[in-house]
């Protein structure tokens, strides 16, 4: 049996054996097969083929100061992403005899941090910013070899190819772009041989992962701004394809595939499936010359530049008359949203006279013309499902809703993904169709998505990215095509920071955000909605009061409405059922409105009765605290709000339990 290669040497005799192997290698002799690691052996071979001088005492001379400055400007994104990691290295590598080096894809060092004596020693071998440490320039070394093999590498002492750096030990790994996996740089930790530690490689890999995570966050934020900028263009009747600045397909509208075929072109439009280098934009917004597909006309291309920075590119392929006829003859194109000017207004169920609410509806109408995922944000009860149904409109296909809150993880998984026959004890015979499959061809509305368990979020992300779903208990994927509208009352960015929500899922579902204002922010809508609900339920019941008195309306306007429109609707439904008089008066309102009633009466703290909603809420809370004698638990119960909500409102208005 052939002897095994050593995994690593750990004593002086091993190092001596490697040095002997090195001399034998340079002299053309054989090397003992068990002396060198395969990684080092292959790297020495590449170094010899590249005609690297094995007697070199150092790396090549670094770039001139001006050239290094220009290089750093070109690599600003990588430098910004690595800044916190490098700053941390400045502290935790102090007195360790090691330094951390950041290099670009040519192995040119951009920055070093760490132990100052180690940095001084490294400069004697030109391990410093501006110097290039590729295998072709310096032979076997961690930076160059990691780039050559595309994985983490540790090179210790005599394993280096060049004589002048054999007293050093170094560990390095490549960093990859989060979207397409392309190598964007190399991270290295180096020191003199006596600083060798096997755990250094793990340290480098962890630090590189932090940099990759920051690159991912920056890229997702950039992609969000890109989609927000291009949203209006994607609703065009032409074929539109949106690329990010690296040339990756981000989104294509429903006309794109047909328009491209009509232009005798071909392009893979699935997101994340293919990078088209010709659509990558440079720092000045220019495209790479000669790389565009031959069927693309220059006038179809539009770089998207925001605040002087290129974010991506639009390809707008005009729809020819032939393509229009083809779509009409064969029905609606795949993925298209059919529309009819004669259809009823899908947002008619939303009653408002507020400017902010009307602006939200206008944006929702624009979103309804696309297939982009939408994240609806707003407090509980503001009407997020009504917006979701409006966005779905008459687009065809089913509208399927699922509330992610209040369900156990197992029940939510089966509701969302479905399950196969016999997937678990008690499973329905024949299995069950999940909500995602049920929404195929239509719209899936996931309410309270912030409540989705963290370990389930990657499964939903995969469905959104790949367009495939696996039922529980099945190994065969099922293709699905649906439009996602998600909703939450939570601040998902805070949940991301706290580790409760995945950043990649957030940026996938929040392609466009739509905030729905709370009822207390909508001037005039309380009165309009109260009268609307009164009339609606009176007709449904065939009985009930016909009007609301001015005093009662004044109380309703001043109430803070923690439950928003839902609370107002439930109140009016109850009044219609219980009030036997022709008018709703203050006496018919529930007891929690009494403090508001007292506050808005003539002769109170606001004799004119012109109290704003915020003032009314503050005074209501103050009176409730007084009535509860400072007992905040009782105060929250009287106000019918959570104790945490009471604390937040008290903080907002500067109140304390002593405000009696």
CATH code, 581: 1.10.8.60
Q: Is residue 132 part of a domain?
A: yes
pLDDT of 290: 61
Alpha-carbon separation of residue 634 from 172, 482, 660 (angstroms): 61, 47, 14
- CB neighbours of residue 546 within 10 Å: 11
Same domain, 562 and 529: yes
Q: Is residue 7 part of a domain?
A: no
Q: Domain count for the chain, please give it.
A: 5
Alpha-carbon separation of residue 129 from 167, 334, 382 (angstroms): 20, 53, 56
User: Would you say 156 and 169 are in contact if contact means Cβ atoms under 8 Å apart?
Assistant: yes
pLDDT of 546: 86
pLDDT of 116: 94
The neighbouring-strand residues paired with 107 are: none
Give the end of a domain, one of 489, 517, 545.
517
- CB neighbours of residue 246 within 10 Å: 17
pLDDT of 274: 64
User: Would you say 450 and 494 are in contact if contact means Cβ atoms under 8 Å apart?
Assistant: no
Q: Is residue 2 part of a domain?
A: no
pLDDT of 332: 31
Same domain, 513 and 533: no
With a cut of 50, which residues of the chain have pLDDT below it? 1-12, 321-343, 603-611
Q: What is the CATH number of the domain that holds 71?
A: 3.30.450.40
Pairing of strands 512-515, 374-377: parallel
- Residue 190, H or E segment: strand 183-192
Closest CA to 487 of 356, 408, 388, 365: 388
Q: What is the CATH number of the domain that holds 419?
A: 3.40.50.300
Q: Which residues contact 4 (CB under 8 A, 6 or more apart)?
A: 34
Distance of CA 616 to the CA centre of its chain: 38
pLDDT of 610: 42
Structural domain that includes position 535? 521-600
Closest CA to 220 of 647, 535, 506, 530: 506
State the burial class of residue 459 (Cβ atoms within 10 Å of its Cβ: 0-12, 13-18, 19+): middle
Same domain, 386 and 417: yes
Give the end of a domain, one of 270, 296, 317.
317
| Residue that has been written with the tokens 């995969």 in this structure | 462
Q: Is residue 572 part of a domain?
A: yes
Same domain, 511 and 532: no
- Residue 99, H or E segment: strand 98-103
Q: Which residues contact 85 (CB under 8 A, 6 or more apart)?
A: 100, 207, 210, 211, 214
Quick one: DSSP state of residue 657? T
Same domain, 370 and 511: yes
On the CB side of 427, CA atoms within 13 Å amount to 21
CA atoms 197, 201, 204, 210: torsion sign: negative
Closest CA to 293 of 274, 311, 308, 307: 274
Q: Is residue 608 part of a domain?
A: no
Q: Is residue 116 part of a domain?
A: yes
**Pairwise CA distance, residues 154 & 190, whole Å:** 10
Prediction pTM value: 0.52
- CB neighbours of residue 6 within 10 Å: 18
Same domain, 392 and 535: no
**Pairwise CA distance, residues 273 & 182, whole Å:** 14
- Angle at which helix 613-627 crosses helix 550-558, to 10 degrees, equals 80
Same domain, 76 and 212: yes
User: Would you say 62 and 137 are in contact if contact means Cβ atoms under 8 Å apart?
Assistant: no
Same domain, 494 and 528: no
Same domain, 75 and 108: yes
Pairing of strands 183-192, 239-244: unpaired
Same domain, 544 and 617: no
Give the end of a domain, one of 497, 517, 537.
517
**Pairwise CA distance, residues 489 & 565, whole Å:** 14
Q: Is residue 48 part of a domain?
A: no
Same domain, 114 and 205: yes
Q: What is the CATH number of the domain that holds 253?
A: 3.30.450
Same domain, 96 and 244: no
Closest CA to 85 of 107, 108, 106, 114: 114
**Pairwise CA distance, residues 486 & 404, whole Å:** 10
Closest CA to 652 of 618, 612, 611, 616: 618
**Pairwise CA distance, residues 20 & 36, whole Å:** 11
Q: Is residue 22 part of a domain?
A: no
């Amino acid at each position: 049996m052939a002897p095994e290669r050593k995994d690593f040497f750990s004593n002086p005799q091993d190092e001596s054996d490697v040095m002997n192997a090195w001399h034998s290698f340079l002299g053309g002799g054989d090397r003992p097969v068990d002396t060198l690691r395969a990684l080092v052996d292959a790297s020495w071979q590449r170094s010899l083929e590249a005609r690297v001088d094995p007697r070199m005492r150092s790396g090549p001379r670094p770039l001139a100061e001006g050239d290094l400055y220009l290089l750093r400007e070109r690599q600003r994104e990588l430098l910004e992403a690595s800044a916190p990691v490098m700053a941390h290295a400045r502290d935790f590598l102090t007195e360790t005899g090691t330094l951390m080096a950041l290099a670009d894809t040519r192995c040119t060092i951009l920055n070093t941090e760490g132990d100052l004596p180690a940095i001084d020693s490294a400069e004697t071998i030109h391990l410093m910013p501006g110097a290039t440490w590729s295998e072709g320039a310096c032979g076997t070394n961690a930076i160059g070899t990691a780039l050559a093999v595309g994985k983490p590498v540790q090179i210790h002492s005599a394993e280096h190819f060049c004589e002048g750096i054999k007293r050093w030990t170094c560990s390095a790994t490549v960093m990859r772009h989060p979207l397409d996996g392309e190598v964007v740089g190399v991270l290295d930790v180096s020191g003199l041989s006596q600083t060798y530690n096997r755990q250094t490689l793990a340290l480098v890999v962890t630090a590189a992962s932090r940099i990759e995570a920051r690159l991912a966050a920056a890229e997702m934020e950039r992609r969000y701004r890109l989609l927000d900028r291009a949203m209006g263009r994607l609703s065009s009747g032409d074929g539109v394809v949106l690329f990010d600045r690296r040339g990756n397909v981000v989104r294509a509208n429903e006309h794109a595939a047909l328009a491209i075929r009509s232009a005798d072109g071909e392009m893979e439009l699935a997101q994340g499936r293919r990078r088209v280098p010709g659509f990558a934009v440079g720092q000045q917004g220019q495209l790479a010359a000669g790389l565009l597909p031959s069927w693309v006309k220059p006038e179809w291309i539009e770089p998207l530049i925001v605040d002087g920075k290129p974010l991506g590119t639009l390809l707008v392929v005009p729809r020819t008359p032939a393509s229009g006829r083809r779509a009409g003859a064969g029905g609606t194109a795949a993925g298209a949203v059919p529309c009819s000017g004669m259809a009823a207004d899908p947002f008619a169920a939303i009653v408002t006279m507020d400017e902010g609410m009307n602006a939200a509806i206008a944006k929702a109408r624009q979103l309804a013309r696309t297939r982009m995922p939408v994240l609806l944000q707003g407090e509980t009860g503001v009407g997020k499902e009504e917006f979701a149904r409006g966005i779905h409109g008459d687009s065809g296909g089913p509208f399927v809703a699922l509330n992610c809150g209040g369900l156990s993880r197992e029940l939510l998984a089966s509701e969302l993904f479905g399950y196969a026959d016999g997937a678990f004890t008690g499973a329905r015979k024949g299995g069950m169709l999940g909500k995602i499959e049920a929404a195929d061809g239509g719209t899936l509305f996931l309410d309270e998505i912030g409540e989705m368990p963290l370990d389930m979020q990657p499964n939903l992300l995969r469905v959104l990215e790949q367009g495939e779903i696996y039922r529980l208990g099945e190994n065969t994927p099922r293709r699905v095509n649906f439009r996602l509208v998600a909703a939450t009352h939570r601040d998902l960015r805070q949940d991301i920071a706290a580790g409760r929500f995945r950043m990649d899922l957030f940026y996938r579902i929040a392609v466009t955000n739509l905030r729905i204002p709370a009822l207390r922010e909508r001037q005039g809508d309380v009165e309009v909605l109260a009268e609307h609900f009164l009339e609606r339920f009176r007709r449904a019941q065939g009985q009930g009061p016909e009007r609301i008195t001015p005093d009662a309306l004044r109380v309703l306007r001043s109430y803070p409405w923690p439950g928003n429109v839902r609370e107002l609707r439930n109140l009016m439904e109850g009044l219609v059922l219980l009030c036997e008089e022709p008018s709703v008066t203050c006496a018919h309102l529930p007891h929690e409105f009494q403090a508001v009633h007292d506050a808005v009466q003539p002769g109170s703290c606001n004799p004119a009765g012109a109290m704003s909603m915020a003032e009314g809420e503050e005074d209501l809370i103050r009176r409730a605290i007084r009535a509860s004698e400072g007992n905040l638990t009782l105060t929250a119960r009287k106000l019918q709000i959570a104790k945490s909500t009471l604390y937040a409102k008290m903080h907002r208005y500067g109140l304390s339990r002593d405000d009696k």
